[in-house]
Amino acid sequence: MDDVRGKVDDMTGKRSMKELLVGTYDMKYLCKPVFPYFRKSKGVPPPMFFGKDDFLGLFVALVMGLQHALAMVGGLITPPLLISNLAFGTRPGTNPPVPYSSGNPADTQRYLVQASLIVCGIMTFFQVLGVRIWKTNFQFGAGILSCMGVSFTTVPIATSVIGQLMKEQGHTFEEAYGMFLGTIAMCAVIPAILSFFPIRIIKKIFPPIVCGITIMMIGVHLIGAGFKNWGGGAFCADNWQHPPAPKTCYLPATYTNGTSYLQQSTQCWVGPGIKCGDPTKTEVFLPFGSQEYLGLGFLVFVTIIVLEIFGSPFMRNASVILALLFGYFIAAVTNYQGKKYVITNKIDQAPGITFLWTTTFPLGFYSPAIIPLMIVFIITSIETVGDTAATLEASRMQVNTEDGTRRIKGALLNDGISGIFSALATSLPLTTFAQNNGVISLTNVAARQAGFAAAFWLFLLGILGKVGAWITTIPECVLGGMTTFLFANVIASGIKIIINGDPLTRRSRFILACSLALAFGVELVPQWATLNLWPVTPGMSPGLRGLRDAIILVISTSFTLGAVVALILNLIIPADANANTCTTKALGLPEGADSGKLDGVDSSHDASGCEACEPLPPVKMITGGLEPVPTVEATRDNAVDANTDRV
């Protein structure tokens, strides 16, 4: 207790009221836009660096926390929105139409969005706090400025599993979602178990090429969902033509002698099909891919680009949510033939304050989803190791030390506990987010006070019912312009992991080619694995049916198939004989230099060591060894790379 009181005195004592409230941070740097095409210098120098336990001041901490929250919120609301869209469908062949949801799907969607924000706020607090486990060398949480967010990696599995349970087994959305949550709660123990293993063993079994392929294919899969929303909505995208209608029409035909004619038919496909639009949030109903929808989505996409070029550090860090707000504003103030793109009935009917478990789902279990979810949690665990290490580096803390290893394992343990808690709290599983590393690099603030403030903002946004209702009124086309950019960042993160983690030898290129061949093939032609590979027979036992469903789910999901193929090939294909040591190119040495004869360079690194590390900074020859020479361009590129990591 005395130690805690002493730390509080160190943080608050000997400071004026102005310093306690405002701090000493240079807010001009944070908020001043830049004009890169008219500058003579290379930019305004960043303010002084604020370390993990440095004091920010109340106002600065709240501003920095809001910046981290805004950088995350676009990615946090997307998974629950995509999953809850499944509740709005109706069962085919029913007259009158029978909905998949047993309740009000709009209320369910609002609740899932708010539950995600609340859970992220709670678990971010523990991630930043970093509690040491009594009488052990472990801790719960990283204890640095690292935030928790809803993982994108579970979205493809969730949509596939929930859709299958509703369409093939007759469950309601609430029942199917509850079964998925129960399965998540069981599989989420994997990160917690891995947190007690040495980091080098985890990286050895699951190298960067396996993780990179998986993450890249997740982004490829999600890009389709983003484009469907951009064009007007997923349901109208899948039903852009009417089904065969009892309407007289004429189709081209040919007589036996070759003469063409129009043959009368009573069953025709008639365009433009089902129109896009949810009557609970819009008055405009247009065909999929209409100019109006594409224009609104493109406005959001271009706004992100403009903010990246001309925005201040604050605006660049929050570019995704700011672009979403701008697109929403334009949609709200415009109309189509006198009809509104946005109506606020949901906001008017939403409660002022809400919390977890105001809507519940019956927990269940779906065994075929175990293997895909195990792959998902293993991949997110590897991501957490890399993201936490990047946060430590951005915070100017040592990674390859006992303290750094303990913090990485603490983040892994928090991932596991968060996955279990989020499932029991009716939310999708969480993982360590990486966007915050870019915020740290741009602002030079790694103080945990900003992390606590970010947790506060996320929790506040979650309990305000009107905020969740507003999020559900965002037009699909506006949301699609934002999510397409987010999902493309997932692809870029996967490519970056592959390039930075592996020198792309003949062996790694072979693994990459085999994995991507099958993964892209299944992504483009999913029926390849679902129609007749292992058909369901009337006498199939429940156990065999569960095994069949699990295998088909793994094979028909692009990123799980790619991950399994890459993992197996990485284990059975021997390493290249000429890849025993790191090349001079990987070390950043001058061309022709012999790495084994240079002072200060350890030539005993094997190929696996090279794959686990990024190239070293440029070096120059001096008397007595090597001296790193950091460049302005390298510093700027590192900040940009950190800002485009996994979302």
Question: What's residue 628's pLDDT?
Answer: 42
Give residue 245's region: left, alpha or beta (phi > 0; psi -120 to 50). beta
pLDDT of residue 243: 52
Residue 624 has pLDDT above 60, yes or no: no
Give the E-state strand segments of 179-280 in sequence order: 245-254, 260-268
Residue 631, pLDDT score: 41
Distance, CA of 299 to chain centre: 22
Q: Which of 60-74, 113-127, 160-174, 423-437 has the highest mean pLDDT?
A: 113-127
Least confident of 2-6, 300-304, 362-366, 573-577: 2-6
Q: How far apart are CA 282 and CA 482, in angstroms?
A: 19
Task: Give the pLDDT confidence of 200-219 residue by residue, as tens digits.
Answer: 887 777 788 888 898 899 88
* pLDDT of 618: 44
Instruction: Quote helix, strand, coil % in the chain, to nearest 5.
Output: 60, 10, 35
**Is the pLDDT reported for residue 275 higher than 80?**
yes
- Give the mean pLDDT of 398-404: 87
In 108-177, DSSP assigns E strands to 131-132, 139-140, 148-150
pLDDT at 251: 66
Residue 606 clears pLDDT 70, i.e. is over it: no
> Cα–Cα distance between 440 and 268 in angstroms, integer?
58
More confident residue, 269 or 115: 115
Span 63-90, pLDDT tens digits? 899 989 988 888 899 999 999 989 988 8
Q: Which residues, other chains included, contact 549 with Cβ-Cβ below 8 Å and sequence gap of 6+?
A: 164, 368
Tokens of 74: 């676009």
Q: What residues are paired with 193 via a beta bridge?
A: none
pLDDT at 597 over 50: no
pLDDT, tens only, 452-501: 999 999 999 999 999 999 999 999 999 999 999 989 988 988 888 888 87
Average pLDDT over residues 422-427: 95
Distance CA 252, CA 264 (A): 9
What share of the chain in percent tops pLDDT 70?
Answer: 81
Predicted local distance difference test score (pLDDT) of residue 266: 57
Higher pLDDT: 126 or 249? It is 126
Domains in the chain: boundaries = 58-233+276-533+542-572
- What CA–CA distance (Å, rounded) separates 148 from 391? 13
Whether 193 shows a pLDDT value over 60: the answer reads: yes
Q: Give the model confidence (pLDDT) of 527-573 as tens digits.
A: 888 888 888 888 888 888 888 888 888 898 898 899 899 989 998 99
Lowest-confidence pick of 35-49, 241-255, 332-346, 526-540? 241-255
Q: Which helix (H) or strand (E) holds 99?
A: strand 98-99
Q: Across residues 503-532, what is the average pLDDT?
A: 90
Question: Would you place residue 13 in the very low, low, confident or very high pLDDT band (cuts 50, 70, 90)?
Answer: low
Q: What percent of the chain has pLDDT over 90?
A: 38
Average pLDDT over residues 171-189: 95
- pTM recorded for the entire structure: 0.77
- Provide the pLDDT for residue 629: 40
- For 342-399, the pLDDT digits (tens) are 998 889 889 999 999 999 999 999 999 998 999 889 888 888 888 898 889 889 898 8
Q: Mean pLDDT highest for which of 58-67, 614-623, 626-635?
A: 58-67
* pLDDT confidence bin for 615, thresholds 50/70/90: very low
Distance, in Å, from the CA atom of 638 to the CA atom of 636, rounded to the nearest integer, reads 5
- Per-residue confidence band for 44, with pLDDT thresholds at 50, 70 and 90: low
pLDDT higher than threshold 90 for residue 263: no
- Once rounded to an integer, what is the mean pLDDT over residues 507-516? 93
User: Quick one: pLDDT at residue 639?
Assistant: 43
Cα gap 4→285, rounded to integer Å: 59
Predicted confidence at residue 273, as pLDDT, reads 63
**What rounded mean pLDDT belongs to the chain?**
81
Higher pLDDT, 166 or 617: 166
Is the separation of the CB atoms in 464 and 113 below 8 Å? no
CA angle 583, 636, 226 (to 5 degrees): 95
- For residue 342, the model assigns a pLDDT of 93
Give residue 616's pLDDT band: very low, low, confident or very high (50, 70, 90): very low
Name residue 378's amino acid: I
Q: What is the mean pLDDT of residues 620-646?
A: 41
